[in-house]
Amino acid sequence: GDSVTQMEGPVTLSEEAFLTINCTYTATGYPSLFWYVQYPGEGLQLLLKATKADDKGSNKGFEATYRKETTSFHLEKGSVQVSDSAVYFCALNTNAGKSTFGDGTTLTVKP
Amino acid sequence: DGGITQSPKYLFRKEGQNVTLSCEQNLNHDAMYWYRQDPGQGLRLIYYSQIVNDFQKGDIAEGYSVSREKKESFPLTVTSAQKNPTAFYLCASRGKRGDLGTQYFGPGTRLTVL
C-alpha cells in the first residue's frame, strides 16, 4: 500500500539556519504530494503541494520538489524563523480518495 | 469565510460514556474525514465519507461510529467500546479533483477520559 516516510525529529535549529526535512514515499500510480504544518493545539494547514514530477511547490519561503526518480519530496527553507516552529507532515494523495500522512517532524527554532 | 468547525474544543468523558464530536463544513466539499492524533504521532484515519449517506472504515474504526446525513456535517461518536479514547481528534474535508486532493482541517477536539 501507499506509505510516507519522514525524517525523524525533533529538529532544533538556530534562527536563520537552513532547513531540510526529508520525505520519501511509496505509491502506486501518480500521487499528488503535500506538506502540511501544524502549530501547537491546532489543526493542519496546507503549506505547499506538487502534482507531477519535477513540479516545485513553494510558500512562505518553503520549497519542495517532486522527484519521481528518487520518490522524494524534501522540504527546504533557506533561513528559518522562530515563528516556523511547528510540526511538519508530508502526505500523498491518490485517486483512491484517501491521503496518507507521514508521522510528522517537530521543528524548534531558537533565537 | 468558508471553513471547517469542530466542537467542542475540549471534551471530558467518564469511562463507559459515549460522546459525539461535531464537524461542520461550509466549503461545499463532498469528502470528509476523521483522524486521531496521539502525542508525538502522526494521523490515523478513523472513518471517511465521499458522499452523503455513505462512509467507509479507516484504519482504526473499532469503537467509533459516524453518520453522514447532510453534506455539511460528519459527526463522530466515540463509544464505550473504544478502550483508549484520550486523544486529539481532527476532522477534514476535501474538494473535487480540481483542488488536487488538498485536505482542509478543522481546529480539532481534545478528548480526555477521566
pLDDT digits (tens, 9 = 90+) for A42-74: 999 999 999 999 999 999 999 999 999 999 999
Query: Which residues on B lie below 8 Å from A91 (Cβ)?
Result: 103
Contact B106 A43 (CB under 8 A): yes
Residues of A at the B interface, defined by Cβ within 8 angstroms: 32, 34, 36, 41-46, 49, 51, 89, 91, 93, 95, 97-99, 101-104, 106
Q: What is the pLDDT of residues B75-112, one digit of tens each?
A: 999 998 888 999 999 999 997 765 667 899 999 999 99
Can you tell me the distance from the alpha carbon of B44 to that of B38, in angstroms, rounded to the nearest whole number? Answer: 9
Contacts of residue B39, Cβ cutoff 8 Å, sequence gap at least 6: none
Q: How many CA atoms lie within 13 A of B103 on its CB side?
A: 35
DSSP 8-state assignment for residue A29: S
Over residues B2-34, the pLDDT tens digits come to 799 999 999 999 988 999 999 999 999 999 999
CB atoms within 10 A of CB B10: 9
Residue B99 φ/ψ, nearest 5 degrees:
-90, 10
Closest among B62, B31, B82, B22 to A98, alpha carbons compared: B31
Longest dimension (CA), chain B: 44
Q: Which residue has the cell 516545485?
A: A56
Tell me the chain A residues in contact with residue B100 when contact means C-beta distances shorter than 8 Å: 32, 49, 51, 93
> How does residue B1 score in pLDDT terms, banded at 50, 70 and 90?
low
